[in-house]
Amino acid sequence: MHIKVLRDDLLDGVGPIQAVVETKRSLPILSHLLLETSPSHLSVFGTDLDIGVRKRIPGEVVKEGSVALSARKLYEIVRELPATSVDLIVDDELTATITCDNSEFKIKGLARNDFPSMREPQQSGIVLDRRLFRDMIRRTLFAVSSDQTRYTLNGILFRVTSQDVKMVATDGHRLAMTNHELSGKSESSSTLTPVDAIIPRKAAAETLKLLREEPGEVTIEISDNHLLLHTDDILIDARLIEGQFPNYEQVIPAHAAKEVTVNREAFIAGLRRTSTILGERAVPTTMKLTPGKLLLTCVNLDLGEARERLDVEYQHEEMSVGFNARYILDFLGALTTDQATIRLQDPLSPALFTGKDDARYTCVIMPMRL
């Protein structure tokens, strides 16, 4: 095998994929990346058996071939190389020689045969805008449960119908839900098979990192309990969580008569400030609503208290309700509108957080008893 690639292209492939690779597994091959040529490019592939990622890098192939090299070492080497052309030659003993400018590295590789195989895309599936798909993950990922005993909650529900695409995650204290209506054109909704899949947290988080925030599309296929995502140059193959996601619709409050509208940035700043007094304690932040005003209060009995006054749109009677500020901040951090709307019924009923005049993103947060 012999290929010439640009160092920056090589780093672009090796960097994100080595982060996916598991180094603690007992199978040594899993700490490696498979480098493989095809006539016009080099493909870099890494997997931890739960998620596999392959990226194509442009290169001038002198001689075709393949080799598996230590992911971490390859990354550390490529990172330090100057930004110029890199020559990668692999001999019959699978020793790779990497030459770049005045530097030369020889590292021992493993054979392609030992490497797990990867599914290939089927040229069909749901086509979504890449940024939209990233945004949907970003809006729900924080609500994924870490409770290992509730494994169907350890991922994001990904549901596709002929009308829309939905993502939902919940940890029992809060639920995040985002949906996107399918217009029917580029997304070929007419030919869509309905999908109901649970994408594990790691696969969702890695996808967020791997799909760049660039214009473009992503094609999504679900089969045999695997999720296959692909763009022009990247292919992600993730094992899905088996089982039934709970019926989340029942926790979405039907009655929530009192509506508050608050500026997103001011709300974030206020919650961050009042939270400083709390430290690690799971103490509620009190929201006291009076017409036109929101007063945030946190009390730490050992230390003192913090208050923040915000101007809001609110026209109902006085009401006090307590929340875990972290949950609200997670929601506000993923919100893309300038104003947030909160719908409340009473201090013990779940509250509905959305963007103002925007039904595409909703969080349900359980209050804390004051």
Site membership for a copy of itself, residue 251 (CB under 8 A): no
Name the segment binding a copy of itself (CB under 8 A); options: 101-109, 151-159, 188-196, 257-265. Answer: 101-109
Tokens of 323: 């929340």
Name the segment binding a copy of itself (CB under 8 A); options: 68-76, 141-149, 207-215, 325-333. Answer: 68-76
Ranges assigned E (strand) in 292-369: 293-300, 304-311, 319-323, 339-344, 351-355, 358-365
Nearer to a copy of itself, 163 or 261 (CB): 261
Question: Considering only residues 25, 63, 209, 272, which one is a binding residue for a copy of itself as defined by CB under 8 A?
Answer: 272
CB of 196 to a copy of itself, least distance (A): 42
Give the total of residues touching a copy of itself (CB under 8 A): 34
Tokens of 314: 């609110």
Q: Are residues 353 and 261 in contact, defined by beta-carbon separation less than 8 angstroms?
A: no
Question: How many angstroms separate the CA atoms of 56 and 120, rounded?
Answer: 14
CB of 16 to a copy of itself, least distance (A): 19
Site membership for a copy of itself, residue 19 (CB under 8 A): no
3-state class (DSSP) for residue 142:
helix
Near a copy of itself in 297-326, by CB under 8 A: 302-310
Site membership for a copy of itself, residue 107 (CB under 8 A): yes
Phi and psi based region of residue 357 (left: phi greater than 0; alpha: psi -120 to 50; beta: remaining)? left
Question: How many angstroms separate the CA atoms of 92 and 332, rounded?
Answer: 56
Name the segment binding a copy of itself (CB under 8 A); options: 28-36, 74-82, 158-166, 202-210. Answer: 74-82
Q: Are residues 218 and 211 in contact, defined by beta-carbon separation less than 8 angstroms?
A: yes
Q: Are residues 279 and 263 in contact, defined by beta-carbon separation less than 8 angstroms?
A: no
Q: Are residues 365 and 331 in contact, defined by beta-carbon separation less than 8 angstroms?
A: yes
CB of 322 to a copy of itself, least distance (A): 19
Site membership for a copy of itself, residue 112 (CB under 8 A): no
CB of 62 to a copy of itself, least distance (A): 21
Question: How many angstroms separate the CA atoms of 232 and 26, rounded?
Answer: 33
* Contact residues for a copy of itself, defined by CB under 8 A: 70, 73, 76-77, 79-82, 95-96, 102-108, 269-270, 272-274, 276-277, 279, 302-310
